[in-house]
Amino acid sequence: MPTDPVQSLANLRLERDAILLYDALASIEKDPKRAGAFQRIAANERRHAEVWGSKLREAGVDVPPGPTRPRPRVAVIVLIARIFGTKAVSDLVTALEGDEEDIYEGQAGSPEIDAIAADEREHAEIWRKLKDPDYHPDRDIAIRERWHRSGRSGTLRAVIFGVSDGLVSNLALVMGVAGASSATGEQGHFILLAGAAGLLAGAFSMAAGEYISMQRQRELFERQIALERAEMEAMPEEEEAEMASLYRAKGFREDEAKAIAHRLFEDPERALDQLIREELGLDPDELGSPYAAAFGSFVAFGVGAFVPVAPYVVGGGAPAFAAAIVLSLVALFAVGAGVSLLTGRSAWFSGARQVGIGAAAATVTYFVGTLIGVSVVG
């Protein structure tokens, strides 16, 4: 198919960003096997970049020199990795790889693009395996299936959205109470009390909801794992045949699939682990902690909810009201920009959208509060 210069240039920039990312991760990582995995991915990305460079040259388009600095999303990931280590950015990089895969799948139609999309799936799989302490790049049983998109960026996403929820909901509450207070003549301490109550009620509600949700999910997963273990103990031959069928479905020959399954079943625990991952789509080492989820939600919501209340801690009246609006709008933009790390959208677009949503909620509740205050006074 004919080369689209604009799309090819965009793809080239995407791959060059990935090269900068993985070169940086490889230089940061102290563990040789993890650094080796990053170097392997970087080599793939260089090959991808050369594909797009060749296509552009064949189309008579000048190939621009490579960038010395990546785009902001990648730069933030590298910065976090330098401070907290490469394990801290696992979810962010997995989300980035997923976005790249989606971009290439939207361009499907040539062998080169299909091969690059397959490589991006492999990169996401490598990140999943890096969480396994026994992983080594050379010990790869060629699992190419998609990772579960629902797991992308779970921890960071929960924190960002928890902050966003607390910020928007308490801003709306504070503005609503401020609107009512302007009509009734109540002082700032009333707004402070209402905001503090909203912060605590919302944070505890979020924490309880996350705990219950995560606990039920974990119990369901543990039940599925227990059933799989019981089946393996009761009928190991049938489970080994099932494992072989999974590998046949991935394209292995009959003898290869049987050999892999038999080798896995020489170690029952390793076989069970692989069955859980392949058949159930679960990572037995990462079922989620209800306590961590509850604590994270409580803190994230509380941090967001405190922003519109903070000015009323030190004062009241019009200055506190104005400061609450300004601080909240700045925080809303920051949260929106943070969300762009997960979505890949422009930080300006995501920040402005978040500001618009928060401002709309605050405006509506302010005027509703004003009407209620007027009716009470009347």
Q: What is the pTM for the complete model shown?
A: 0.56
Give the number of C-alpha atoms closer than 13 A to the C-alpha of residue 304, restricted to the C-beta side. Answer: 30
In CATH, what is the architecture of 5-135?
A: Up-down Bundle (1.20)
Distance, CA of 174 to CA of 153 (rounded, Å): 31
Dig out the tokens for 25 from the structure.
């991760």
Nearest to 141 by CA among 64, 39, 250, 291: 250
Contact 141, 153 (CB under 8 A): no
Identity (one letter) of the amino acid at 269? E
Q: What is the pLDDT of residue 23?
A: 92
The boundaries of every CATH 1.20.1260 domain in the chain are 5-135
94 pLDDT tier (thresholds 50, 70, 90): confident
Report residue 54 CA to chain centroid gap.
33
Instruction: Determine the angle formed by the axes of helices 154-184 and 188-234, rounding to 10 degrees.
Output: 150
Distance, CA of 321 to CA of 178 (rounded, Å): 8
* Average pLDDT of span 75-103: 82
Helix (H/G/I), strand (E/B), else coil: 172: helix
DSSP string, 243-258: HHHHHHHTT--HHHHH
Dig out the tokens for 174 from the structure.
């504070």
Identity (one letter) of the amino acid at 378? G
* Average pLDDT of span 160-171: 83
Q: For 305-320, write each residue's pLDDT tens digit.
A: 999 999 988 877 788 8
Contact 266, 131 (CB under 8 A): no
Share of the chain above pLDDT 90, in %: 6
DSSP 63: P
DSSP string, 272-287: HHHHIIIII---TT--
Q: For 192-225, write each residue's pLDDT tens digit.
A: 888 888 889 888 988 888 888 888 878 877 887 8
Distance, CA of 168 to CA of 301 (rounded, Å): 10
3-state secondary structure 123-169: HHHHHHHHCCCCCCCCCCCCCCCCCCHHHCCHHHHHHHHHHHHHHHH
